[in-house]
């Protein structure tokens, strides 16, 4: 049986010392359940989780729940005539991270020769030495063309502002948006290069604004709450739930953090790692990112984590990054930068979000020191690669537990900003931010390059070694060797400065400073 889409793997967590994954595929409406052939696997359940488009179903979306023993190693499987292979980790998993899988403007396609070149590279690296999890940190699709291609929405944008905020979410809008989101997922995810990787590495996905539409949550409150905006959000949320989380419309994810009603996820005891996945869009409004109830539920989950783990935190928008406020006025004078201006308002350092960001940073520092744990932030969104460090001196001599690294990787498909914008960003990059008394944030320069930003398309590998270190490797388009940063395990003595030489053939010239 041929598949319309799939297979797409997703990680569901550990249960009874088994590696739990699900497999999503889409068939035409009249087809029976796809048959999976996989050695060493326990197939728990096969079920239809949706029929899409909702208003005029043409396809069935299937999910197969699968458990694998932790000693399974390399596992081959076949479904719908397609053969794939995945790998189960015996200890701490090897991770890949990517974001920004598309184009915010069709004109940007002309800037790249091969839009999926980084996906090909990721798959080639996976073939050499397998990755166990693929973290996708936002903008897995780009929905922005709907304002041009959906007739009812285009007509709505032509209305005067006051009529727009009062206009109803019509049945025609509902039907057209339903078909649009269905087609976007099928079109984008059936491309050969990402499809092979999505069927070979179990994913953990979290949405960002382009999975809804550009700048979601950062528009004026009356527009944010308008019937049309809310109708589009609900449609995007239902498709995100089905395709990215592989959930039926009334299900909760097995890794959903208890006590919150959105999509924040938590995975613990992944060898020496834990993974906290922040949902920064479901509750976002112009004056908040996450509700107080959700923050409390997530902090309660953090408090229950076992000590001495390295906590990875997926925040689609970087927590530590450049100070973009002073650039906003400059960019207003540049034609064609409206999208970047939306991104500025989206950022954690935007004034309405500063207090919420400060509480998050304090909580992460307190957690790291109390649990004797390293914390590393993983983000995308900004269409460049970069590294930053948040450091506290207010907790006394607690060594590198008081240093939180921020790793940024984007985009896997979306090209970087224009040269002039990158230049303006670079001129601002050496500034050290004073977050609070005794807490600072600083961009880390790329060794040997005299700059802070990776302007080419990239994806990030996070590779643990037997000494408890994490090797963060940016795989950059048109670069022969990765750019590397080494994150050492927790040490409560004041760290001694040292120079890390290249490892496994890595180029010392391309190494970011370590911490």
What is the separation of C-alpha 369 from the centre of its chain, rounded to a whole number of angstroms? 26
pLDDT grade, residue 325 (50/70/90)?
low
Full-prediction pTM beyond 0.75?
Answer: yes
Distance CA 203, CA 49 (A): 18
Whether the Cβ atoms of residue 132 and residue 95 lie closer than 8 Å to each other: yes
Superfamily (CATH H level) for 91-510 = Alkaline phosphatase D (PhoD) (3.60.21.70)
Task: Write out the DSSP string of 202-243.
Answer: -EEE---GGGT-TTTT-S-HHHHTSHHHHHHHHHHHHHIIII
For 315-444, list the strands marked E by DSSP. Answer: 375-379, 386-392, 403-408, 433-436, 439-443
What is the separation of C-alpha 405 from the centre of its chain, rounded to a whole number of angstroms? 16
Distance CA 263, CA 257 (A): 8
pLDDT grade, residue 338 (50/70/90)?
very low
pLDDT grade, residue 497 (50/70/90)?
very low
What is the separation of C-alpha 356 from the centre of its chain, rounded to a whole number of angstroms? 20
Instruction: List pLDDT tens digits, range 113-151.
Output: 899 999 999 999 999 999 999 999 999 999 999 999 999
Tell me the pLDDT of the chain averaged across its residues. 91
* pLDDT confidence of residue 342: 57
Residue 155, C-beta contacts closer than 8 angstroms, at least 6 positions apart:
none
Sheet holding 133-136, edge to edge: 42-52, 59-69, 18-28, 5-15, 203-205, 133-136, 95-98, 458-464, 470-476, 483-487
Distances (CA, A) of 339 to 213, 289, 410, 505: 11, 19, 16, 39
Six-digit token pair at 466?
Answer: 């037997």
Distance CA 170, CA 388 (A): 45
Number of H helices and number of E strands within the chain?
13, 21
Residues across the chain: 515
Nearest CA to 140 out of 490, 410, 447 is that of 410
Please state the rounded mean pLDDT for residues 183-201. 97
Whether the Cβ atoms of residue 474 and residue 99 lie closer than 8 Å to each other: no
pLDDT grade, residue 498 (50/70/90)?
very low
The three-state (H, E, C) secondary structure of 207-218, written as one string: CCHHHCCCCCCC
Q: Is the pLDDT of residue 314 over 90?
A: yes
Coil, strand or helix at 187? helix
Distances (CA, A) of 499 to 246, 485, 495: 44, 11, 12
Domain boundaries, the chain: 1-89, 91-510
Strand pairing category for 439-443 and 386-392: antiparallel
Coil, strand or helix at 110? helix
Sheet holding 273-277, edge to edge: 265-270, 273-277, 310-314, 375-379, 403-408, 386-392, 439-443, 433-436
Distance CA 351, CA 148 (A): 31
Task: Write out the DSSP string of 317-332.
Answer: S-SS----HHHHHHHH
Six-digit token pair at 187?
Answer: 């079109």
Instruction: List pLDDT tens digits, range 219-269.
Output: 999 999 999 999 999 999 999 999 999 999 899 999 999 999 999 999 999
Whether the Cβ atoms of residue 130 and residue 170 lie closer than 8 Å to each other: no
Instruction: List pLDDT tens digits, range 371-404.
Output: 999 999 999 999 999 999 999 998 877 888 899 9
Nearest CA to 364 out of 428, 269, 441 is that of 441
Distance CA 438, CA 358 (A): 13
Instruction: List pLDDT tens digits, range 449-471.
Output: 789 999 999 999 999 999 999 99
Strand pairing category for 82-87 and 95-98: unpaired
Fold of the domain built from segment(s) 1-89 = Immunoglobulin-like (2.60.40)
Six-digit token pair at 481?
Answer: 């060797």
Alpha helices in 429-509 (DSSP H): none
Instruction: List pLDDT tens digits, range 398-431.
Output: 888 899 999 999 999 999 988 888 888 898 899 9
Alpha helices in 129-170 (DSSP H): 146-149, 151-157, 161-166
What is the phi/psi pair of residue 22, to 5°? -130, 160
pLDDT grade, residue 110 (50/70/90)?
confident
């Amino acid at each position: 049986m041929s598949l319309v889409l799939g297979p797409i793997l997703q990680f569901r967590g550990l249960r009874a010392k088994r590696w739990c994954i699900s497999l999503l595929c889409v068939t035409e409406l009249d087809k029976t359940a796809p048959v999976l052939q996989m050695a060493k696997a326990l197939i728990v359940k096969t079920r239809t989780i949706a029929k899409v488009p909702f208003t005029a179903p043409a396809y069935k979306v299937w999910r197969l729940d699968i458990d694998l023993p932790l000693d399974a190693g390399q596992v081959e499987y076949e479904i719908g005539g397609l053969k794939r292979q995945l790998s189960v980790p015996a200890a701490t998993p090897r991770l890949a991270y990517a974001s920004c899988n598309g184009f915010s403007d069709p004109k940007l396609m002309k800037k790249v020769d091969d839009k999926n070149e980084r996906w090909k590279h990721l798959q080639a690296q996976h073939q050499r030495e397998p990755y166990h999890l693929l973290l996708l940190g936002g903008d897995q699709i780009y929905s922005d063309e709907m304002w041009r291609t959906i007739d009812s929405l285009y007509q709505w944008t032509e209305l005067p502002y006051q009529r727009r905020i009062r206009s109803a979410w019509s049945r025609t809008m509902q039907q057209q948006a339903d078909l649009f989101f269905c087609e976007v997922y099928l079109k984008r995810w059936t491309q050969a290069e990402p499809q092979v990787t999505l069927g070979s590495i179990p994913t953990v996905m979290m949405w960002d604004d382009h999975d809804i539409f550009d700048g979601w949550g950062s528009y004026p409150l009356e527009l944010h709450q308008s019937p049309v905006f809310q109708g589009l959000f609900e449609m995007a949320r239902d498709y995100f739930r089905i395709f990215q989380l592989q959930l039926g419309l009334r299900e909760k994810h097995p890794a959903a953090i208890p006590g919150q009603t959105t999509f924040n996820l938590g995975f613990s005891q992944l060898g020496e790692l834990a993974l906290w996945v922040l949902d920064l869009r479901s509750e976002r409004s112009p004056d908040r990112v996450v509700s107080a109830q959700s923050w409390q539920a997530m902090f309660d989950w953090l408090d229950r984590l076992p000590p001495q783990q390295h906590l990875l935190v997926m925040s689609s928008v970087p927590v530590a990054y450049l100070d973009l406020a002073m650039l906003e006025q400059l960019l207003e004078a540049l034609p064609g930068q409206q999208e970047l201006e939306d991104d500025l308002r989206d950022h954690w350092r935007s004034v309405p979000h500063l207090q919420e960001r400060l509480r998050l940073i304090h909580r992460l520092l307190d957690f790291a020191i109390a649990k004797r744990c390293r914390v590393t932030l993983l983000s995308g969104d900004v269409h460049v690669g970069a590294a930053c460090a948040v450091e506290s001196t207010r907790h006394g001599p607690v060594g590198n537990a008081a240093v939180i690294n921020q790793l940024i990787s984007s985009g896997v498909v979306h090209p970087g900003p224009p040269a002039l914008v990158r230049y303006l960003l670079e001129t601002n990059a050496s500034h050290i931010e004073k977050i609070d008394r005794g807490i600072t944030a600083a961009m880390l320069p790329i060794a040997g390059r005299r700059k802070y930003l990776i302007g080419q398309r990239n994806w990030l590998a996070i590779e643990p070694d037997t000494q408890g270190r994490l090797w963060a490797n940016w795989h950059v388009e048109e670069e022969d060797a990765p750019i590397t940063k080494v994150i050492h395990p927790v040490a409560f003595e004041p760290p001694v400065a040292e120079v890390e030489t290249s490892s496994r053939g890595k180029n010392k010239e391309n190494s970011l400073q370590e911490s």
